[in-house]
């Protein structure tokens, strides 16, 4: 019954959008039609180039670049490899017939057409953003199984799993300037329509499993309306109302390429970008691309939590880095799981930590209980309360607000909480203005990385937490909250994660705040 109501609402919105559309007096002759510039037939497969040759790469390059600033890249990869990214217009290109043949070889319910716009996106993934594409390939090993399971529940084409690559570059904490959030970039209204919990402590748009389930239901509802996967994908991006307007303006044509020029610019690039993503995910080896896997565990499991718990309690009791907990559980906005006996929430942990959590569950809840939950109550963190991030030892940077910015977007870009931004800058509510200088504190050593992205000035470097031993051969470093072996190794030239692990007899990547690490810098 609920599904029928949702479908009725979507259909009603679509119908109203069409009826509200005034008679379009713009002659079709005034808008250039899709013209056939070239035909390339292989084994009966025909490619039709769409006119004009639009380069819409800028629309989706921003999502990929936002991944660079995400926790995964900053803490799990050597960011120096991004320095080799090229924006050169002189790129090596294969014959069109090769791309066509490879697309033909992909088993897909969704038509994988080929044209110059698709080709431009293939170049973006395989040449202009090679390293970021390799990160996406690595992250797909974690997120695709989650997405595939939800698509399978509704008997949807499995290739729809490539859509989050276009939406968010597989970054579950991504937030657009329009305030779309998560892997699937749900707007607030659509998220609520599909029963996602969006509140002070929890935002299930950032939950890979919950948001994928909601996206599958939405895509299923759209397919009942259009019966055409290209139109479904387009409607997911710009809304069914805009697709219906384009259909009407194109004289009732229900083909994506026929309504192409009547769609918003972003949507014109959306389907070609999807086709290019499908191509790359199935042919990356042929472009000498190699998945770069993240440091956080790929093999994980979930457990139901039925009591208030703060990530710090879990981190310190089970010896799991805070950043790892945050990456595995991005839906908890303030590092608090507001669970109750009658309203449990899901906690995702590395597989080997599940049994340990079960054995030590009471110890986790009891750790500094009065500090985190006074009177056993979940309190919204105050601006000047306990939970405001400590700035001691962090890099202080100044960001200049640009058109389209909001506090949520800035907080997401620098991986800090909105409450901390308000406190640091004495901002009441969410009011900021273009040109305003916003102070942000980021982990030590990260200031210069953020400065490279523009509109950022580093004004203060963090103090060191390292002390040289009396014989001068070793440095002893005190682990701080948010540190990882990778971020520590980067502080000392020539030192790798494995060097630190070997010198300190560490078998895993797990470290905890306050731990002393022995490091031998190399000259």
Q: Which of 155-159, 254-258, 400-404 has the lowest mean pLDDT?
A: 400-404
pLDDT tens profile 22-68: 333 333 333 333 333 333 333 343 334 344 356 666 666 665 655 55
Question: Mean of the pLDDT values across residues 489-512?
Answer: 77
Q: For residue 389, what pLDDT band results from cuts at 50, 70 and 90? A: low
Q: Which of 48-52, 361-365, 502-506 has the lowest mean pLDDT?
A: 48-52
Q: How far apart, in whole angstroms, are the C-alpha atoms of residue 181 and residue 191?
A: 9
Give the residue with greater pLDDT, 177 vs 99. 99
pLDDT at 301 (0 to 100) = 92
Q: Which of 163-172, 376-385, 463-472 has the lowest mean pLDDT?
A: 463-472
How many beta carbons lie within 10 A of that of residue 448, not counting itself? 12
User: Which single residue is written with the structure tokens 């590092």?
Assistant: 335
pLDDT at 97 (0 to 100) = 92
8 A C-beta contact, residue 405 and residue 432 = yes
Longest dimension (CA), the chain: 85
pLDDT at 44 (0 to 100) = 41
pLDDT at 144 (0 to 100) = 95
Q: State yes or no: cis peptide before 52, omega within 30 of 0.
A: yes
Instruction: Supply 486's token pair.
Output: 């990778």
Give the residue with greater pLDDT, 120 vs 12. 120
Q: How far apart, in whole angstroms, are the C-alpha atoms of residue 419 and residue 105?
A: 50
8 A C-beta contact, residue 412 and residue 174 = yes
pLDDT tens profile 70-101: 545 555 554 454 444 544 445 667 899 999 99
C-alpha distances in Å from residue 93, one per residue of 40, 42, 234: 16, 19, 28
pTM: 0.67
Q: How far apart, in whole angstroms, are the C-alpha atoms of residue 165 and residue 119?
A: 17
Give the residue with greater pLDDT, 179 vs 134. 134
Q: How far apart, in whole angstroms, are the C-alpha atoms of residue 205 and residue 183?
A: 8
Q: Give 108-111's long-range contacts (Cβ < 8 A, gap of 24+).
A: 108/157, 108/159, 108/278, 109/157, 109/159, 109/229, 110/157, 110/159, 110/160, 110/229, 110/230, 110/233, 110/274, 110/278, 111/229, 111/230
pLDDT at 498 (0 to 100) = 77
Q: Which of 34-38, 254-258, 403-407, 512-516 has the lowest mean pLDDT?
A: 34-38
Q: Give 362-368's long-range contacts (Cβ < 8 A, gap of 24+).
A: 363/317, 364/309, 364/313, 364/314, 364/317, 364/318, 365/307, 365/308, 365/309, 365/313, 367/312, 367/313, 367/316, 367/317, 368/312, 368/313
pLDDT at 45 (0 to 100) = 39
Give the residue with greater pLDDT, 297 vs 399. 399
Collect all residues with Cβ–Cβ distance below 8 Å to 39 and sequence separation of at least 6: 46, 47, 48
pLDDT at 56 (0 to 100) = 61
Return mean pLDDT, the chain.
78
Predicted confidence (pLDDT) at residue 347 exceeds the cutoff of 70: yes
Q: Is 393 exposed, middle or buried (0-12, 13-18, 19+ CB in 10 A)?
A: middle
How many beta carbons lie within 10 A of that of residue 364, not counting itself? 19
pLDDT tens profile 433-463: 888 888 888 877 777 777 666 666 665 444 4
DSSP-derived letter for residue 70 is S
Q: For residue 242, what pLDDT band results from cuts at 50, 70 and 90? A: very high
pLDDT at 422 (0 to 100) = 76
Predicted confidence (pLDDT) at residue 333 exceeds the cutoff of 50: yes
DSSP-derived letter for residue 381 is P
Predicted confidence (pLDDT) at residue 271 exceeds the cutoff of 90: yes
User: Which single residue is written with the structure tokens 């703060």?
Assistant: 310
Predicted confidence (pLDDT) at residue 401 exceeds the cutoff of 80: yes
Q: Which of 41-55, 106-120, 425-439, 481-495 has the lowest mean pLDDT?
A: 41-55
Q: How far apart, in whole angstroms, are the C-alpha atoms of residue 148 and residue 208?
A: 11
Q: For residue 392, what pLDDT band results from cuts at 50, 70 and 90? A: low
Predicted confidence (pLDDT) at residue 179 exceeds the cutoff of 60: yes
If phi > 0 it is left, if psi is from -120 to 50 it is alpha, else beta; for residue 278 that is alpha
pLDDT at 265 (0 to 100) = 85
pLDDT at 453 (0 to 100) = 60
- Domains, the chain, in order of start with CATH, read 2-18+33-287 (1.10.530.10), 300-376 (no CATH), 395-460 (3.10.350.10), 466-519 (3.10.350.10)
Active site residue 448: no
Q: Give 162-165's long-range contacts (Cβ < 8 A, gap of 24+).
A: 162/274, 162/277, 162/278, 162/281, 163/215, 163/233, 163/236, 163/274, 165/136, 165/140, 165/277, 165/281
8 A C-beta contact, residue 172 and residue 294 = no
8 A C-beta contact, residue 256 and residue 262 = no
Q: Phi/psi of residue 210, each to 5°?
A: -65, -40
Using only C-alpha atoms, the chain has a radius of gyration, in whole angstroms, of 25
Give the residue with greater pLDDT, 57 vs 108. 108
Query: How wide is the angle at C-alpha 215 spanned by C-alphas 209 and 217, nearest 5°?
Result: 105
8 A C-beta contact, residue 216 and residue 154 = yes
Predicted confidence (pLDDT) at residue 118 exceeds the cutoff of 60: yes
Q: What percent of the chain has pLDDT over 70?
A: 72
Of the candidates 167, 204, 209, 324, the residue annotated as catalytic is 167
pLDDT at 164 (0 to 100) = 95
Q: What percent of the chain has pLDDT over 90?
A: 39
């Amino acid at each position: 019954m609920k599904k029928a109501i949702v479908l009725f609402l979507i259909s009603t919105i679509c119908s109203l959008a069409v009826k509200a559309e005034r008679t379009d007096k713009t002659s079709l002759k005034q808008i250039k039609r899709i013209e056939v510039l070239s035909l390339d037939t292989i084994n009966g497969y025909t490619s039709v180039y769409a006119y004009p040759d639009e380069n819409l790469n800028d629309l989706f390059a921003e999502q990929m670049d936002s991944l660079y600033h995400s926790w995964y890249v900053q803490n799990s990869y050597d960011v120096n490899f991004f320095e080799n990214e090229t924006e050169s217009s002189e790129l090596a290109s294969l014959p069109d017939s090769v791309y066509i043949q490879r697309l033909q070889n992909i088993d897909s319910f969704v038509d994988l057409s080929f044209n110059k716009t698709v080709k431009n996106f293939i170049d973006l993934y395989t040449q202009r953003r090679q390293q970021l594409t390799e990160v996406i390939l690595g992250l797909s090993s974690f997120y695709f199984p989650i997405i595939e399971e939800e698509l399978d529940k509704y008997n949807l084409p499995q290739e729809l799993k490539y859509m989050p690559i276009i939406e968010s570059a597989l970054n579950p904490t991504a937030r657009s300037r329009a305030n779309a959030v998560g892997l699937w970039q749900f707007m607030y209204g659509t998220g609520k329509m599909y029963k996602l919990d969006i509140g002070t402590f929890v935002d299930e748009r950032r939950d890979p499993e919950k948001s994928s389930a909601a996206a599958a239901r939405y895509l299923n509802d759209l397919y009942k309306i259009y019966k055409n996967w290209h139109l479904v994908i387009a409607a997911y991006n710009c809304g069914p109302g805009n697709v219906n307007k384009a259909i009407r303006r194109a004289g009732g044509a229900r083909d994506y390429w026929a309504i192409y020029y009547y769609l918003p610019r972003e949507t014109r690039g959306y389907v070609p970008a999807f086709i290019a993503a499908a191509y790359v995910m199935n042919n990356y080896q042929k472009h000498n691309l190699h998945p770069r896997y993240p440091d956080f565990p790929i093999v994980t499991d979930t457990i139901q939590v039925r009591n208030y718990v703060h990530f710090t309690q879990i981190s310190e009791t089970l010896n799991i880095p805070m950043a790892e907990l945050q990456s595995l559980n991005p839906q908890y906005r303030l590092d608090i799981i507001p669970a109750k006996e009658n309203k449990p929430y899901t906690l995702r942990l590395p597989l080997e930590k599940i049994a340990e959590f079960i054995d030590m569950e009471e110890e986790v809840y009891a750790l500094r209980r009065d500090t985190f939950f006074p009177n056993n109550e979940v309190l919204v963190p105050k601006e000047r309360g306990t939970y405001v991030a400590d700035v001691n030892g962090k890099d202080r940077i100044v960001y200049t607000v640009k058109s389209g910015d909001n506090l949520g977007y800035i907080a997401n870009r620098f991986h800090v909480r909105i409450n901390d931004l308000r406190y640091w800058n004495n901002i009441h509510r969410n009011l900021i203005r273009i040109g305003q200088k916003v102070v942000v504190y980021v982990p030590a050593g990260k200031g210069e990385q953020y400065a490279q992205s523009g509109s950022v000035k580093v004004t203060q470097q963090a103090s060191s937490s390292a002390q040289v031993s009396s014989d001068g051969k070793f440095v002893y470093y005190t682990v701080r909250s948010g540190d990882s072996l990778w971020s520590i190794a980067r502080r000392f030239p020539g030192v790798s994660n494995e060097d630190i692990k070997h010198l300190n007899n560490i078998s895993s990547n797990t470290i905890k705040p306050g731990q002393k690490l022995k490091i031998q810098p190399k000259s």
